[in-house]
Amino acid sequence: MRLQRLVRDPTLYAAIFAALLPFLLSAGVALATSKQYVISQLGRAFTPVEVTIRRGDTVQILNDDGDLLHHVYLESNLFKFDSGDQGPGSRTNIVFPIVGTFAVLCAIHPKMKLTVHVK
Ligand SMILES: [Cu+2]
């Protein structure tokens, strides 16, 4: 009987909701603020050639360049990334955890360059 009364008590649910609210809000904010930017590799060129993102955002490199292989990499003092060979149709995600300006290059096509500004 006491349990039933407790289960029907709306203040219990209000208390649980209030306790969980900060976690729900912070998760929601993280989801809402973290963005993904898709970069094409069509014609052996990154498009767009330059992108400005926020720390924690993802740059997704899409190999939409027919049957060509690409191989993106990034080298700086602060942050390194190497995709390995990117097969046709593949998508490579790079998350930028730090602020700065970074050059993403292709190991197969030296003329390919993507500049990423992370704010
Ligand atoms: Cu390439």
Residues with CB under 5 A from ligand 1 (ion): 70, 106, 108-109, 112
CA distances from 54 to 21, 35, 65, 73 (A): 26, 8, 27, 19
pLDDT above 60 (res 24): no
> What is residue 26's predicted lDDT score, i.e. its pLDDT?
52
Give me ligand 1 centre to Cα 106, in Å: 5
Residues 21 and 69 in one domain: no
Report CA(87)–ligand 1 centroid distance (Å).
11
Distance 74 CA to ligand 1 centre (A): 13
Same domain flag for 27 and 77: no
Q: What does pTM read for this prediction?
A: 0.74
Q: How many domains is the chain partitioned into structurally? A: 2
pLDDT tens digits, one per residue of 25-70: 555 555 567 899 999 999 999 999 999 999 999 999 999 999 999 9
4 CA distance to ligand 1 middle (Å)? 66
CB within 8 Å of 17: residues ≥ 6 apart: none
Structural domain of residue 39, as residue ranges?
A: 35-118
